Protein backbone atom coordinates (compact mmCIF):
# COMPACT_ATOMS: atom_id res chain seq x y z
CA UNK A 1 0.00 0.00 0.00
CA UNK A 2 2.82 2.37 0.88
CA UNK A 3 4.56 1.52 -2.37
CA UNK A 4 1.38 2.32 -4.36
CA UNK A 5 0.99 5.68 -2.59
CA UNK A 6 4.61 6.59 -3.31
CA UNK A 7 4.16 5.78 -6.97
CA UNK A 8 0.97 7.84 -7.22
CA UNK A 9 2.65 10.76 -5.46
CA UNK A 10 5.61 10.69 -7.85
CA UNK A 11 3.28 10.65 -10.86
CA UNK A 12 1.33 13.61 -9.43
CA UNK A 13 4.49 15.68 -8.87
CA UNK A 14 5.78 15.04 -12.41
CA UNK A 15 2.36 15.95 -13.87
CA UNK A 16 2.24 19.24 -11.97
CA UNK A 17 5.75 20.17 -13.07
CA UNK A 18 5.01 19.42 -16.72
CA UNK A 19 1.79 21.43 -16.68
CA UNK A 20 3.55 24.29 -14.95
CA UNK A 21 6.31 24.35 -17.55
CA UNK A 22 3.84 24.24 -20.43
CA UNK A 23 1.89 27.13 -19.02
CA UNK A 24 4.91 29.31 -18.28
CA UNK A 25 5.34 32.35 -20.52
CA UNK A 26 8.94 32.79 -21.75
CA UNK A 27 10.58 36.19 -21.21
CA UNK A 28 11.93 37.76 -24.40
CA UNK A 29 15.72 37.82 -24.69
CA UNK A 30 17.32 41.09 -23.71
CA UNK A 31 18.18 43.14 -26.79
CA UNK A 32 21.86 43.49 -27.67
CA UNK A 33 23.51 46.72 -26.69
CA UNK A 34 23.70 49.19 -29.54
CA UNK A 35 26.47 51.51 -30.62
CA UNK A 36 26.10 54.62 -32.75
CA UNK A 37 23.28 54.74 -35.29
CA UNK A 38 21.65 51.61 -33.89
CA UNK A 39 24.36 49.25 -35.08
CA UNK A 40 24.69 45.79 -33.58
CA UNK A 41 26.88 45.38 -30.57
CA UNK A 42 30.54 44.79 -31.51
CA UNK A 43 31.96 41.40 -30.67
CA UNK A 44 35.51 42.62 -30.13
CA UNK A 45 36.06 43.35 -26.46
CA UNK A 46 39.31 45.25 -27.09
CA UNK A 47 40.50 47.29 -30.08
CA UNK A 48 44.18 48.20 -30.39
CA UNK A 49 44.73 51.47 -32.27
CA UNK A 50 48.18 52.45 -33.52
CA UNK A 51 49.14 56.08 -34.07
CA UNK A 52 52.28 58.19 -34.46
CA UNK A 53 53.52 60.78 -31.99
CA UNK A 54 53.10 63.35 -34.71
CA UNK A 55 50.84 66.32 -35.47
CA UNK A 56 50.16 64.98 -38.97
CA UNK A 57 48.00 62.33 -37.27
CA UNK A 58 45.69 65.12 -36.12
CA UNK A 59 42.44 63.43 -37.19
CA UNK A 60 43.28 60.37 -35.12
CA UNK A 61 44.13 62.56 -32.14
CA UNK A 62 40.84 64.41 -32.34
CA UNK A 63 38.84 61.20 -32.83
CA UNK A 64 40.40 59.79 -29.66
CA UNK A 65 40.09 62.98 -27.62
CA UNK A 66 36.47 63.50 -28.66
CA UNK A 67 35.65 59.87 -27.89
CA UNK A 68 34.41 59.25 -31.43
CA UNK A 69 35.70 55.67 -31.57
CA UNK A 70 34.30 54.91 -28.12
CA UNK A 71 30.93 56.40 -29.00
CA UNK A 72 30.73 54.33 -32.16
CA UNK A 73 31.76 51.04 -30.58
CA UNK A 74 30.07 51.39 -27.22
CA UNK A 75 31.30 51.64 -23.64
CA UNK A 76 31.84 47.89 -23.35
CA UNK A 77 34.75 48.04 -25.80
CA UNK A 78 38.17 48.71 -24.34
CA UNK A 79 40.42 50.88 -26.53
CA UNK A 80 44.18 50.49 -26.28
CA UNK A 81 46.23 53.23 -27.94
CA UNK A 82 49.74 52.26 -29.04
CA UNK A 83 52.16 55.05 -29.98
CA UNK A 84 54.74 54.63 -32.76
CA UNK A 85 57.73 56.69 -33.86
CA UNK A 86 57.75 55.55 -37.50
CA UNK A 87 55.76 53.75 -40.16
CA UNK A 88 58.02 50.73 -40.40
CA UNK A 89 57.35 49.75 -36.79
CA UNK A 90 53.64 50.45 -37.21
CA UNK A 91 53.31 48.37 -40.38
CA UNK A 92 55.16 45.46 -38.81
CA UNK A 93 52.89 45.62 -35.76
CA UNK A 94 49.76 45.66 -37.93
CA UNK A 95 50.97 42.77 -40.06
CA UNK A 96 51.86 40.64 -37.02
CA UNK A 97 48.56 41.17 -35.14
CA UNK A 98 49.99 43.45 -32.46
CA UNK A 99 47.42 46.13 -33.35
CA UNK A 100 44.06 46.03 -35.16
CA UNK A 101 43.98 49.33 -37.00
CA UNK A 102 45.51 52.80 -37.00
CA UNK A 103 47.25 55.59 -38.83
CA UNK A 104 50.37 55.29 -40.97
CA UNK A 105 52.10 56.59 -44.09
CA UNK A 106 51.84 55.00 -47.55
CA UNK A 107 55.57 54.34 -47.96
CA UNK A 108 56.24 51.77 -45.24
CA UNK A 109 52.67 50.46 -45.42
CA UNK A 110 53.09 49.61 -49.12
CA UNK A 111 56.46 47.98 -48.48
CA UNK A 112 54.98 45.77 -45.76
CA UNK A 113 51.84 44.95 -47.74
CA UNK A 114 53.91 43.54 -50.60
CA UNK A 115 55.42 41.12 -48.07
CA UNK A 116 52.43 40.14 -45.94
CA UNK A 117 49.30 41.17 -47.86
CA UNK A 118 47.21 40.95 -44.68
CA UNK A 119 45.94 44.49 -44.11
CA UNK A 120 44.18 47.19 -46.11
CA UNK A 121 44.06 50.97 -46.46
CA UNK A 122 40.45 51.98 -45.83
CA UNK A 123 40.55 55.79 -45.72
CA UNK A 124 42.68 58.87 -46.08
CA UNK A 125 43.36 61.33 -43.28
CA UNK A 126 46.14 63.79 -44.11
CA UNK A 127 47.73 64.93 -47.37
CA UNK A 128 51.08 66.70 -47.54
CA UNK A 129 52.50 67.85 -44.23
CA UNK A 130 56.23 67.47 -44.93
CA UNK A 131 58.79 70.18 -45.72
CA UNK A 132 62.43 70.37 -46.83
CA UNK A 133 64.47 72.28 -44.29
CA UNK A 134 68.08 73.44 -44.78
CA UNK A 135 70.41 74.14 -41.88
CA UNK A 136 71.12 77.76 -41.12
CA UNK A 137 74.26 79.03 -42.92
CA UNK A 138 74.43 75.82 -44.99
CA UNK A 139 74.35 77.76 -48.24
CA UNK A 140 71.37 75.69 -49.42
CA UNK A 141 68.69 77.82 -51.01
CA UNK A 142 67.13 75.34 -53.44
CA UNK A 143 67.07 71.57 -54.01
CA UNK A 144 69.89 71.86 -56.56
CA UNK A 145 72.16 73.07 -53.75
CA UNK A 146 71.86 69.64 -52.09
CA UNK A 147 74.63 68.25 -54.30
CA UNK A 148 77.34 66.78 -52.08
CA UNK A 149 75.23 67.33 -48.95
CA UNK A 150 73.80 65.01 -46.27
CA UNK A 151 70.03 65.00 -45.89
CA UNK A 152 68.13 63.28 -43.07
CA UNK A 153 64.77 61.50 -43.28
CA UNK A 154 62.84 59.97 -40.33
CA UNK A 155 63.39 56.34 -41.32
CA UNK A 156 64.49 54.32 -44.33
CA UNK A 157 61.67 53.61 -46.76
CA UNK A 158 59.45 56.27 -45.20
CA UNK A 159 57.03 58.38 -47.19
CA UNK A 160 59.34 61.32 -46.53
CA UNK A 161 62.29 59.52 -48.12
CA UNK A 162 60.20 58.71 -51.17
CA UNK A 163 59.25 62.39 -51.50
CA UNK A 164 62.92 63.35 -51.15
CA UNK A 165 63.98 60.89 -53.85
CA UNK A 166 61.32 62.28 -56.19
CA UNK A 167 62.49 65.82 -55.43
CA UNK A 168 66.08 64.86 -56.21
CA UNK A 169 64.97 63.25 -59.49
CA UNK A 170 63.19 66.45 -60.45
CA UNK A 171 66.48 68.31 -59.97
CA UNK A 172 68.68 65.72 -61.74
CA UNK A 173 70.41 64.67 -58.52
CA UNK A 174 71.43 61.12 -57.62
CA UNK A 175 71.47 59.38 -54.25
CA UNK A 176 75.07 58.47 -53.40
CA UNK A 177 77.38 58.16 -50.41
CA UNK A 178 79.95 60.60 -51.76
CA UNK A 179 80.05 64.18 -53.00
CA UNK A 180 78.82 63.28 -56.49
CA UNK A 181 75.23 63.12 -55.29
CA UNK A 182 73.13 63.42 -52.15
CA UNK A 183 73.73 61.26 -49.08
CA UNK A 184 70.51 60.20 -47.34
CA UNK A 185 70.64 59.12 -43.71
CA UNK A 186 67.91 58.09 -41.27
CA UNK A 187 67.37 60.04 -38.06
CA UNK A 188 64.36 60.25 -35.79
CA UNK A 189 62.86 63.76 -36.06
CA UNK A 190 63.88 64.69 -32.50
CA UNK A 191 67.45 63.56 -33.23
CA UNK A 192 67.35 65.44 -36.54
CA UNK A 193 66.60 68.64 -34.68
CA UNK A 194 69.66 68.08 -32.47
CA UNK A 195 71.81 67.10 -35.47
CA UNK A 196 70.85 70.29 -37.26
CA UNK A 197 71.69 72.38 -34.20
CA UNK A 198 75.10 70.71 -34.08
CA UNK A 199 75.56 71.00 -37.87
CA UNK A 200 75.90 67.24 -38.35
CA UNK A 201 73.46 67.34 -41.28
CA UNK A 202 72.86 69.87 -44.01
CA UNK A 203 69.13 69.45 -44.53
CA UNK A 204 66.14 67.24 -43.76
CA UNK A 205 62.79 66.36 -45.26
CA UNK A 206 60.51 65.88 -42.26
CA UNK A 207 56.84 65.86 -41.35
CA UNK A 208 55.38 68.64 -39.28
CA UNK A 209 55.76 70.01 -36.65
CA UNK A 210 59.51 69.49 -36.92
CA UNK A 211 60.06 71.76 -39.91
CA UNK A 212 58.12 74.59 -38.30
CA UNK A 213 59.99 74.08 -35.03
CA UNK A 214 63.39 74.25 -36.74
CA UNK A 215 62.27 77.39 -38.54
CA UNK A 216 60.96 79.04 -35.38
CA UNK A 217 64.10 78.17 -33.42
CA UNK A 218 66.25 79.70 -36.14
CA UNK A 219 68.35 76.58 -36.71
CA UNK A 220 66.90 75.95 -40.15
CA UNK A 221 64.93 77.49 -42.98
CA UNK A 222 62.22 75.91 -45.13
CA UNK A 223 63.40 75.88 -48.73
CA UNK A 224 60.59 73.72 -50.15
CA UNK A 225 57.20 74.18 -48.48
CA UNK A 226 54.68 71.37 -48.11
CA UNK A 227 52.64 72.36 -51.18
CA UNK A 228 55.68 71.94 -53.45
CA UNK A 229 56.83 68.57 -52.14
CA UNK A 230 56.32 65.69 -54.63
CA UNK A 231 54.33 63.91 -55.68
CA UNK A 232 51.53 66.23 -56.83
CA UNK A 233 52.87 69.32 -55.04
CA UNK A 234 51.78 68.23 -51.59
CA UNK A 235 48.55 66.59 -52.72
CA UNK A 236 49.68 63.10 -51.82
CA UNK A 237 48.66 60.81 -48.93
CA UNK A 238 50.84 61.24 -45.87
CA UNK A 239 48.57 59.70 -43.23
CA UNK A 240 46.18 56.85 -43.99
CA UNK A 241 43.84 54.69 -41.93
CA UNK A 242 44.80 51.01 -42.17
CA UNK A 243 42.97 47.94 -40.84
CA UNK A 244 44.16 44.33 -40.54
CA UNK A 245 42.43 41.71 -42.68
CA UNK A 246 41.56 39.75 -39.54
CA UNK A 247 39.75 42.72 -38.02
CA UNK A 248 37.99 43.47 -41.30
CA UNK A 249 36.80 39.88 -41.56
CA UNK A 250 35.67 39.51 -37.95
CA UNK A 251 34.41 43.05 -37.27
CA UNK A 252 33.61 44.76 -40.55
CA UNK A 253 30.95 47.00 -39.00
CA UNK A 254 33.42 48.19 -36.37
CA UNK A 255 35.93 48.95 -39.12
CA UNK A 256 33.32 51.02 -40.92
CA UNK A 257 32.58 52.89 -37.72
CA UNK A 258 36.31 53.67 -37.42
CA UNK A 259 36.24 55.10 -40.95
CA UNK A 260 33.24 57.22 -39.96
CA UNK A 261 34.92 58.40 -36.75
CA UNK A 262 37.96 59.46 -38.77
CA UNK A 263 35.74 61.36 -41.22
CA UNK A 264 33.95 63.09 -38.35
CA UNK A 265 37.30 64.12 -36.86
CA UNK A 266 38.48 65.55 -40.20
CA UNK A 267 35.27 67.57 -40.41
CA UNK A 268 35.57 68.70 -36.78
CA UNK A 269 39.09 70.07 -37.27
CA UNK A 270 38.03 72.02 -40.35
CA UNK A 271 35.09 73.58 -38.52
CA UNK A 272 36.72 74.01 -35.09
CA UNK A 273 40.45 74.67 -35.64
CA UNK A 274 41.11 76.49 -32.35
CA UNK A 275 39.46 73.79 -30.26
CA UNK A 276 41.27 71.15 -32.30
CA UNK A 277 44.70 72.59 -31.45
CA UNK A 278 43.99 71.97 -27.78
CA UNK A 279 42.79 68.43 -28.43
CA UNK A 280 45.89 67.68 -30.51
CA UNK A 281 48.09 68.98 -27.73
CA UNK A 282 46.30 66.81 -25.15
CA UNK A 283 46.94 63.68 -27.18
CA UNK A 284 50.56 64.65 -27.80
CA UNK A 285 51.01 64.88 -24.04
CA UNK A 286 49.46 61.45 -23.58
CA UNK A 287 51.65 59.84 -26.25
CA UNK A 288 55.00 61.54 -25.74
CA UNK A 289 54.77 62.86 -22.18
CA UNK A 290 55.00 66.49 -23.21
CA UNK A 291 52.86 68.95 -25.08
CA UNK A 292 53.61 71.65 -27.61
CA UNK A 293 52.98 75.36 -27.92
CA UNK A 294 49.60 76.00 -29.49
CA UNK A 295 51.12 78.44 -32.00
CA UNK A 296 53.45 75.71 -33.21
CA UNK A 297 50.56 73.27 -33.61
CA UNK A 298 48.58 75.90 -35.50
CA UNK A 299 51.47 76.60 -37.87
CA UNK A 300 51.97 72.88 -38.41
CA UNK A 301 48.30 72.17 -39.19
CA UNK A 302 48.49 74.97 -41.74
CA UNK A 303 51.04 72.93 -43.67
CA UNK A 304 48.86 69.95 -44.55
CA UNK A 305 45.36 69.28 -45.84
CA UNK A 306 42.82 67.03 -44.18
CA UNK A 307 40.90 64.64 -46.40
CA UNK A 308 39.45 61.14 -46.38
CA UNK A 309 40.15 60.75 -50.09
CA UNK A 310 43.00 58.49 -51.22
CA UNK A 311 44.97 58.94 -54.44
CA UNK A 312 45.76 55.48 -55.82
CA UNK A 313 47.93 57.06 -58.51
CA UNK A 314 50.12 58.88 -55.98
CA UNK A 315 50.56 55.72 -53.90
CA UNK A 316 51.54 53.74 -57.00
CA UNK A 317 54.06 56.42 -57.99
CA UNK A 318 55.64 56.29 -54.55
CA UNK A 319 55.68 52.49 -54.61
CA UNK A 320 57.67 52.54 -57.85
CA UNK A 321 60.24 54.78 -56.17
CA UNK A 322 60.48 52.21 -53.37
CA UNK A 323 61.12 49.51 -55.96
CA UNK A 324 63.93 51.56 -57.51
CA UNK A 325 65.39 52.19 -54.05
CA UNK A 326 65.34 48.48 -53.22
CA UNK A 327 62.78 48.67 -50.40
CA UNK A 328 60.28 46.61 -52.37
CA UNK A 329 62.04 43.52 -53.67
CA UNK A 330 61.28 40.67 -56.06
CA UNK A 331 58.79 42.68 -58.08
CA UNK A 332 59.12 44.82 -61.19
CA UNK A 333 57.43 48.16 -61.58
CA UNK A 334 55.31 46.91 -64.46
CA UNK A 335 54.13 44.01 -62.27
CA UNK A 336 53.03 46.24 -59.40
CA UNK A 337 49.41 45.61 -58.39
CA UNK A 338 48.01 47.48 -55.41
CA UNK A 339 44.33 46.86 -56.18
CA UNK A 340 43.93 44.78 -52.99
CA UNK A 341 45.99 47.20 -50.92
CA UNK A 342 43.23 49.80 -51.11
CA UNK A 343 39.76 48.82 -49.92
CA UNK A 344 37.71 52.00 -50.01
CA UNK A 345 34.33 50.26 -49.95
CA UNK A 346 33.76 51.22 -46.31
CA UNK A 347 34.61 54.85 -47.06
CA UNK A 348 32.14 54.83 -49.96
CA UNK A 349 29.44 53.46 -47.67
CA UNK A 350 30.16 56.15 -45.06
CA UNK A 351 30.02 58.88 -47.69
CA UNK A 352 26.71 57.47 -48.93
CA UNK A 353 25.32 57.51 -45.40
CA UNK A 354 24.96 53.75 -45.20
The CATH label, of 3.40.50.150, 3.50.50.60, 1.10.3210.10, 3.40.190.10, for the domain at 41-129+235-351 is: 3.40.190.10
* Residue 186 and residue 273 in contact, taking contact as beta carbons nearer than 8 Å: no
| CA distance linking residue 112 with residue 93, whole number of Å | 10
- Given a cut of 80, whether residue 23 has pLDDT beyond it is no
Question: Could you give the angle at the alpha carbon of 223 between the alpha carbons of 221 and 225, nearest 5°?
Answer: 105
For 167-194, write each residue's pLDDT tens digit.
999 999 999 999 999 999 999 988 998 9
Distance from the Cα of residue 53 to its chain's centroid: 11
Q: In what order do the strands lie in the sheet with 183-186?
A: 183-186, 150-153, 203-207, 130-135, 220-224
Strands (E), the chain: 46-52, 78-84, 101-104, 119-128, 130-135, 150-153, 183-186, 203-207, 220-224, 237-244, 304-306
pLDDT at 43: 64
Mean pLDDT of 82-100: 95
Mean pLDDT of 96-113: 96
pLDDT at 98: 98
- Given a cut of 70, whether residue 208 has pLDDT beyond it is yes
* Residue 189 and residue 195 in contact, taking contact as beta carbons nearer than 8 Å: no
Specify the 3-state DSSP secondary structure of 349. Answer: helix
| CA distance linking residue 261 with residue 258, whole number of Å | 5
Q: What does CATH list as the number for 130-228?
A: 3.40.190.10
Q: At what angle do helices 87-95 and 106-116 cross, to 10 degrees?
A: 30
Domain with CATH 3.40.190.10 in the chain: 41-129+235-351, 130-228
pTM: 0.84
Amino acid sequence: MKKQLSTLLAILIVTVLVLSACGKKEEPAAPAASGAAGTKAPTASTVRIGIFKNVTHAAGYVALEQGLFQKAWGDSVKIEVVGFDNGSDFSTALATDQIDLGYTGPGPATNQFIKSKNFRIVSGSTNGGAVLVAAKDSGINSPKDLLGKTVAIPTKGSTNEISLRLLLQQNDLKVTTDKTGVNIIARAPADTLVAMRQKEIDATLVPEPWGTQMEQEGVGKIIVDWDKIPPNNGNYPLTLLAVSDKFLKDHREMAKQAVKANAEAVDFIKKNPDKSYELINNRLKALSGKGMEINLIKASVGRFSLTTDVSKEAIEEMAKVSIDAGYIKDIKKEELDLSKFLDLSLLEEVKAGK
